């Protein structure tokens, strides 16, 4: 690895791909409605080779976007790199000197792709709550349009954590011939009632904010409601252990309780900060739609709850990774997935990584994760070339 | 046990005790303020014997009240019994034929005792957010006033689950000579940052509701915000396992998703129902104050975080019970308490009960719990009489 590469910024630019201009080209959604004149915001890193066997698709989680790595500017010191910058780039585990990496914002999102805050081409007004309820499979069908646009016949790998992992599983189900390998990290084959419940409460917090206005807010966004939803979700991303180590019962200002209802504990201050930052970069209606897509995610649905039967068509090699302290999508849920894959004689590797970071470990345990992914991708590329 | 006793209702009536009429009699709170002309709503069951050695105090949890058992009417079929009716009554584990049972609503509460929705004697208007921030120890100090009023010198036992267990621990710390035994169920020696975080989010949901109006609501209560807070808390009272068994991913109305944002899953419908019912019987400002009291609960605070030192004065016999699937106050937290008590040579018994009910197990595992408590109380009564 060239040291210079590590000091020089990887510069990327966001790209757009529009589909569904005609009625025939519209995307038929699981709800029965069609999405027309839709945009996908995406970024690419590295070069697609002539053999076309080095393309890797990365799928983002609930609050992620297409900007998986790199920077938009050469010198802006305030700019933060993409959300998985430790994992993706020249000389990094998902090495963009070797792989052509693609990452796109999900439909329903709010970071460039068509979502509830986009203009409805039928009315020329914002969709808001007229946007159709989408599913994880719908997100993947839109990504498949992008794949064709990029003239990629087969992904070497599709990789994602959390909701990104759900998309990985839908890719393996919907397009089994077009994936060499799939890497599902910190995810689940179906959303549990506990997670559905947390999503419900988060959405209620948004709807309670008068500024939400049935989704028709304009300049004054429902910041309080969205911040509350985010804070709740954030607690589920951490582990009890990591919160104890990070915050304990430390007070913000003094040694004594303030005996009021403002932030008193460090953990309260941290959550408030996370809520405020989130409101700056995320949209409340998108939050409703994307959490609903997660609620509806159930890989066993196509076979009436029988996960083994539902996964019968999976053909790619798979790597399933979970983390010991992740209580949102615990290892038991990954194991259920692995058992169903093994029942179908899928080539599946699995690993539970020891970590105290909770669900967020998929973003933080990049050293362990990086080695695993780099090796798996390297081997899969050999298999793909020889097969 | 007389079978007739089981079919005949135990009739109780709520009682009131007022204290702090004079400046000297006012209750000095941890925050430095004084509570004057305050009321404690309480109920009693059974008779105090001449020796005065059969008095048992039961402490309620966050959403509980003084009505621990029995009924207010003879025949109203719609009336539900008290919140621990399986545990307390004639012939029941905490046998009111033998014991004189007392249960009172905590100060700061909204079920008869003085709280934020009571009239401030200084202004003749509702306290609302002018009510002083109280602590678990303050609740216990108020209960100690009631103890004197009832002419009880020593409790045979103080018993409570969840926040009731926190009060049990404060009783053992503040009034070590006045308790024979203490039974702390599904509780913790200090609130964890995770629990503080959940409380914070619940309070934010209440404050986001425009009807909260900085606590000054009159007829239109902040029902949406309080319901959201309750739904969030409710998820933490259940276990992932019990939610899977109780709800799974079952849909409410049809076999297919509704593709909207109304309640679709059985678990959403259940939560919505729980939220609505809670708003009918609980006050939003009380919810703020009581959760804040829990945040501030830390048995190790008096010795700068050293739990063993902080518990050095505990003299009573103790029983500490936790439940396997309780992730809100997990067994590890009870064990920390038990270790600190053992370091002080306190007579402590402990047990982790196998249950899938999560934190709610303290209200539901009454058969196992009943046997344990009945035996422990019986033995303690012998010890008290012989000692």
pLDDT of residue B249: 96
The model's confidence at residue A290, banded by pLDDT at 50, 70 and 90, is very high
- Judging contacts by C-beta atoms under 8 Å, the chain A residues touching residue B356 are none
**Do A63 and A78 form a contact (C-beta atoms < 8 A)?**
no
Q: Angle at which helices B284-295 and B193-208 pack, to 10 degrees?
A: 160
Q: A3 to chain B, minimum CA–CA distance in Å?
A: 41
* Average confidence (pLDDT) over A218-240: 97
Contact status of A262 with chain B (Cβ, < 8 Å): no
Looking at residue A7, what is its pLDDT?
66
Interface of A with B in 335-354 (CB under 8 A): none
Tell whether B225 is within 8 A of chain A (Cβ). yes
Q: Rounded to a whole number, what is the distance in Å from the CA of B94 to chain A's nearest CA?
A: 34
Whether the per-residue pLDDT at A371 is higher than 80: the answer is yes
Percent of chain A with pLDDT over 70: 98
What is the total residue count of chain B?
Answer: 387
Residues 6+ apart with CB under 8 A from B87: B68, B69, B93, B94, B366, B369, B370, B373
Give mean pLDDT, residues A141-169: 98
Q: Do A133 and B227 lie within an 8 Å CB cutoff? A: no
The whole-chain average pLDDT of chain A stands at 96
Q: Which residues of B touch A220 (CB under 8 A)?
A: none
**Quick check: B298 and A31 CB within 8 A?**
no
Place of tokens 């047990």: B351
- Phi, then psi, of B289 in degrees rounded to 5: -70, -40
Tell me the percentage of chain B whose pLDDT exceeds 90: 96
Question: How distant is the Cα of B204 from the closest Cα of chain A, in angstroms?
Answer: 6
Q: How far is B385 from chain A (nearest CA, A)?
A: 42
Report which secondary-structure segment, H or E, holds B103.
strand B100-104
Instruction: Take residue A54 and report the two structure tokens written for it.
Output: 């080095």
Catalytic residue list contains A359: yes
Residue spans of the domains in chain A: they are: 3-191+296-386, 196-291
Q: Is residue B230 within 8 Å of B274, Cβ to Cβ?
A: yes
Name the pLDDT band for A219 (thresholds 50, 70, 90): confident
Taking contacts as CB-CB distances below 8 angstroms, the residues of chain A near B232 are 198, 201, 232
Which 3 state secondary structure label does DSSP give B45? strand
Backbone φ and ψ for B151, nearest 5 degrees, come out as: 55, 40
- What is the C-alpha separation between B185 and B96, in angstroms, rounded? 20
Q: Of A165, A169, A186, A196, which is closest to residue A307 (Cα–Cα)?
A: A169
Task: Measure the CA–CA gap between A325 and A150, rounded to whole angstroms.
Answer: 38
Dist. CA B43–CA A254, nearest whole Å: 40
A205 touches chain B (CB under 8 A): yes
Q: How far is A192 from chain B (nearest CA, A)?
A: 7
Is A193 in contact with B247 (Cβ distance < 8 A)?
Answer: yes
CB atoms within 10 A of CB B124: 7
Picking from B201, B268, B288, the nearest residue to A200 by CB comes out as B268
Which residues, listed in sequence order, are joined to residue B45 by a DSSP beta bridge? Answer: B101
Return residues 239-258 of B near A (CB < 8 Å).
Answer: 240, 243-244, 246-249, 257
CATH architecture of A3-191+296-386: 3-Layer(aba) Sandwich (3.40)
Residues with Cβ within 8 Å of residue A266, at least 6 apart in sequence: A247, A248, A250, A251, A252
Mean pLDDT of A174-195: 98
pTM of the model: 0.96
Burial class (CB in 10 A: 0-12, 13-18, 19+), B201: buried
Interface size between A and B, measured as CB pairs under 8 A: 148
In this prediction, residue B8 carries a pLDDT of 81
In the predicted model, is pLDDT for residue A349 greater than 70?
yes
CA atoms within 13 A on the CB side of B77: 0
Residues B239-280: pLDDT tens digits? 999 999 999 999 988 778 999 999 999 999 999 999 999 999
Query: If you ran DSSP here, which 8-state letter would residue B263 be given?
Result: -
| DSSP secondary structure letter of residue B134 | P
CB within 8 A of B7, min separation 6: which ones? none
**Is residue A6 scored above 70 in pLDDT?**
no
Examine the pLDDT at A1 and tell me if it is beyond 50. no
For residue A289, give the chain B residue with the closest CA: B261
Nearest residue, CB atoms, A268 vs list B200, B231, B330: B200
Q: CB distance from A355 to chain B under 8 Å?
A: no
Question: CATH classification of A196-291, choosing from 3.40.50.2300, 3.40.50.300, 1.10.1740.110, 1.10.1740.10?
Answer: 1.10.1740.110
Q: What is the ipTM of this complex?
A: 0.95
For residue A6, give both structure tokens: 């590590």
Q: What is the pLDDT of residue B7?
A: 67
Q: Flag whether pLDDT at A105 surpasses 60.
A: yes
* Best of B205, B209, B238 to mutate (most A CBs within 10 Å, chain A): B205
B271 to chain A: closest CA residue: A197
Q: Which residues from chain A sit within 8 angstroms of residue B129, using beta carbons?
A: 261
B231 closest CB neighbour out of A201, A228, A288: A201
Nearest to A243 among B194, B248, B330 (CB): B194
Is A6 labeled as catalytic in the residue annotation? no
Q: Which two tokens mark A362?
A: 């998929």
Q: Which member of A239, A283, A359, A360 is catalytic?
A: A359
A72 shares contact with chain B (CB less than 8 Å): no
Q: Which of residues 173-202 of B touch A (CB under 8 A)?
A: 190-194, 196-198, 200-201
Does any CB of chain B come closer than 8 Å to the CB of residue A130?
Answer: no
| Chain A environment of B249 (Cβ under 8 Å) | 190-191, 193, 196, 298
On whether any CB of chain A is under 8 Å from the CB of B49, the answer is: no
Strands B94-95 and B38-45: unpaired
The residue written with tokens 């019986």 in the block is: B378
Confirm or reject contact between A327 and chain B (CB < 8 A).
yes
B215, closest residue in chain A (CA to CA): A261
Selected catalytic residue, list A104, A111, A118, A162: A162
Low-confidence ranges of chain B (pLDDT < 70): 1-7
Cβ proximity of A110 and A127 under 8 Å: no
CB within 8 A of A6, min separation 6: which ones? A91
**Which residues from chain B sit within 8 angstroms of residue A264, using beta carbons?**
295
Burial class (CB in 10 A: 0-12, 13-18, 19+), B345: exposed
**Cα–Cα distance list, B129 to A112, B35, B96, B125, B214 (Å):** 44, 14, 39, 12, 7
Q: The tokens of B291 are what?
A: 């959760």
Closest CA to A114 of A255, A348, A260, A283: A283
Q: For the domain B3-191+298-386, what is the CATH superfamily, name and number? A: Alpha/Beta hydrolase fold, catalytic domain (3.40.50.1820)
Burial B206-241 (b: 16+ CB within 10 A, else e): bbbbbbbeebebeeebbbbbbbbbbbbbbbbbbbbb
Residues of B in contact with A138 (CB under 8 A): none
d(CA B208, CA B225): 7
* Residue whose token pair is 């201050």: A269
Q: What does the alpha-carbon distance between residue A9 and residue A23 come to, in Å, rounded to a whole number?
A: 42
To the nearest 10 degrees (0 to 180), the angle between helices B163-174 and B284-295 is 50
The span from the CA of B61 to the CA of B293, in Å, is 12
Cα gap A334→A362, rounded to integer Å: 14
Length in residues, chain A: 387
Q: Are B116 and B289 in contact (CB under 8 A)?
A: yes
Active site residues of B: 162, 326, 359
Task: Please give the backbone phi and psi of residue A44, each rounded to the nearest 5 degrees, phi first.
Answer: -130, 155
Nearest to A94 by CA among A373, A365, A320, A372: A373
Rounded CA gap, A229 and A223, in Å? Answer: 10
């Amino acid at each position: 690895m060239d040291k210079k590469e590590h000091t020089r910024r990887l510069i990327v630019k966001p790209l757009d791909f529009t589909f569904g201009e005609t009625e025939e080209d519209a995307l038929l959604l699981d709800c029965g409605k069609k999405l027309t004149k839709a945009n996908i915001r995406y970024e690419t890193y590295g070069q697609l080779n002539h053999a076309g066997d080095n393309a890797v698709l990365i799928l983002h989680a609930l609050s992620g976007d297409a900007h998986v790595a790199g920077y938009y500017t050469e010198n802006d010191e305030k700019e933060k790199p993409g959300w998985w910058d430790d994992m993706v780039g020249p000389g990094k585990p998902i090495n963009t000197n070797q792989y052509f990496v693609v990452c796109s914002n999900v439909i329903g999102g709010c970071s460039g792709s068509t979502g509830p805050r986009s203009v409805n081409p039928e009315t020329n007004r914002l969709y808001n709550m007229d946007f159709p309820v989408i599913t994880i499979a719908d997100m993947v069908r839109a990504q498949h349009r992008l794949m064709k646009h990029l003239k990629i016949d087969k992904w070497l790998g599709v990789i994602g954590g959390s909701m990104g992992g759900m998309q990985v599983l839908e890719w393996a189900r919907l397009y089994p011939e077009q994936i060499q390998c799939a890497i599902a990290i910190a995810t689940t084959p179906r959303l549990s009632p506990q997670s559905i419940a947390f999503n419900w409460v988060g959405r209620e917090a948004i709807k309670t904010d008068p500024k939400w206005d049935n989704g028709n807010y304009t300049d004054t966004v429902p910041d309080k409601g969205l911040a509350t939803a985010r804070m709740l979700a954030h607690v589920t991303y951490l582990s009890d252990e990591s919160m104890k180590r990070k915050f304990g019962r430390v007070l913000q200002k003094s040694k004594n309780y303030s005996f009021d209802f403002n932030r008193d504990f460090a953990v309260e201050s941290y959550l408030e900060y996370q809520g405020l930052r989130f409101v700056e970069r995320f949209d409340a209606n998108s939050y409703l739609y994307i959490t609903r897509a997660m609620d509806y995610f159930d890989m066993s649905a196509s076979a009436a709850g029988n996960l083994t039967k539902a996964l019968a068509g999976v053909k790619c090699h798979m790597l399933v990774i979970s983390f010991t302290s992740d209580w949102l999508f615990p290892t038991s849920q990954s194991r259920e997935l692995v058992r169903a894959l093994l029942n179908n004689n899928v080539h599946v590797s699995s690993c539970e990584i020891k970590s105290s970071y909770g669900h967020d470990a998929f973003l933080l345990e990049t050293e362990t994760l990086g080695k695993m992914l780099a090796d798996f991708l390297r081997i899969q590329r050999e298999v793909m070339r020889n097969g």
